[in-house]
Amino acid sequence: MLLDVICNLDFHFTPEDLQTALADQGCNMALTTIYRNLPSLENAGIIRRTTFMEEQERGASTYEHIWGKPHHDHLLCQNCGQKIEFQYDALEVLQEEVARQHGFTLLRHHMELVGLCPQCQESAP
């Protein structure tokens, strides 16, 4: 059930979002159970924790469904909270380059770009 609900969510979600989505399907799962299962799903490569430094002040961490989807990073609007997913291979290549320069083997990265979306640039200039 948990897996099913996760696969049908297309946006980033918190453990509580999952509980709500499950409840909508008639499945009442304790939050504790959800918290207990998230690490397994993460290790299995089905979800990824995407807690953004930008929104970290207070509040639960967020995850996203990544099974079968290509890697992407995020662009966030500081004002409206909108999240845009992007892929930019040249960036990934440069990250590898930085790691190599320091003799590191790069395993993964977390990159978030924070700015103002087109709409928010106008309304709050």
Q: What would the two tokens of residue 123 be?
A: 């309304």
95 binds, among DNA, Mn ion, Zn ion, none (CB under 5 to 8 A by kind): none
Q: Which is nearer to DNA, 37 or 78 (CB)?
A: 37
Asked if residue 50 binds DNA (CB under 7 A), the reply is no
DSSP letter string, 13-80:
B-HHHHHHHHHHTT----HHHHHHHHHHHHHTTSEEE---TTT-SSS---EEE-TTPPP-EEEEETTT
Asked if residue 106 binds a second copy (CB under 8 A), the reply is yes
Q: What would the two tokens of residue 54 be?
A: 């930008």
Interface stretch with Mn ion, choices 18-26, 35-43, 77-85, 86-94 (CB under 5 A): 77-85
**DSSP assignment letter at 99:** H
**Could you give the count of Cα atoms lying within 13 Å of 22 in the half-sphere of its Cβ?**
19
Binding residue (CB under 5 A) for Mn ion from 6, 64, 76, 77? 64
Binding residue (CB under 7 A) for DNA from 43, 58, 68, 122? 58
Binding residue (CB under 5 A) for Mn ion from 4, 16, 85, 97? 85
Q: Footprint of Zn ion on this chain (CB under 5 A)?
A: 77, 79-80, 82, 117, 120
